[in-house]
Amino acid sequence: MIKKAMILAAGFGKRIHPLTLKCPKPLLKINGETLLSNTLKFLESFNVKEIVINVHYLAEHIIEYLNKKNYKIKITIVEEKDKILDTGGGILNAVENFQSEPFLIINPDTIWHQNYLEELEKMEKLFLENKKNKCMLLVANKNKSFDKLLKGDFNLENKLINRKNKNNLDFIYTGLQIINPQVFDGITSKVFSINKIWDDLIDKNELCGIESKANFYHVSTLNIYKQLQEKIRYW
């Protein structure tokens, strides 16, 4: 069973300006619930025991928020003080917290809800059944996205992710993946995107994917955030 997870919370949230000029994106609220709190509740529902959260932009706000909430689940904060390390670099900077165990990586930008739990259980089962699995992404078809302007990231064929037809990518990354820390072995770069890891795995036909059937609500822009304020009623 996978008992550890990492929440990526270091970003600048530029597409949500001006709201994120003074408030980090993970602390934006929808119907009184912050994106970060919703993500923590989702992970707790999956019975995750330890969570690592990386922070950089307005880090003090997130740290203060977590200290005040006093969550029962074990939370470790990894602060990227000098500069933001991007998604891949941020994970690598915190990877020692996971030793050699596969762990979850999740973005708080997505509105995680109960429908995702069954899909995550399926992901976990498939990932752990094959010890050769290195990374598995939860992806959604573009037609499931509330934000119709989001472009696809991948194609999905026989549970393998590719980017063969770059002009017709039908699947969007939901913000949830299971990864084996061994994929970072030998990487010396400190600042890099997780896309570097994904692309290397795609070249080897080793990036797995599961299709989500849930409606995909993602806080992508200020306009979408405002619309979701009216749309989401199931917190």
Chain segment 4-22, per-residue pLDDT in tens: 999 999 999 999 999 999 9
At 5 the pLDDT is 98
Q: Report the C-alpha gap between 163 and 171 in whole angstroms.
A: 10
Q: Report the C-alpha gap between 69 and 190 in whole angstroms.
A: 32
Neighbour tally for 144: CB within 10 Å: 17
Max CA-CA distance within the chain?
48
User: Does residue 235 carry a pLDDT above 90?
Assistant: no
Asked if residue 24 has a cis previous peptide bond (ω within 30° of 0), the answer is no
Pairing of strands 155-157, 103-106: unpaired
Q: Report the C-alpha gap between 110 and 219 in whole angstroms.
A: 6
Mean pLDDT, to the nearest integer, of 173-199?
97
H-run or E-run covering 187 = none
Q: Report the C-alpha gap between 190 and 81 in whole angstroms.
A: 13
Q: What is the DSSP letter of 221?
A: S
pLDDT band at 233 (very low <50, low <70, confident <90, very high): low
Mean pLDDT, to the nearest integer, of 175-199?
97
Chain segment 20-51, per-residue pLDDT in tens: 999 999 999 998 899 999 999 999 999 999 99
Q: What is the pTM of this model?
A: 0.96
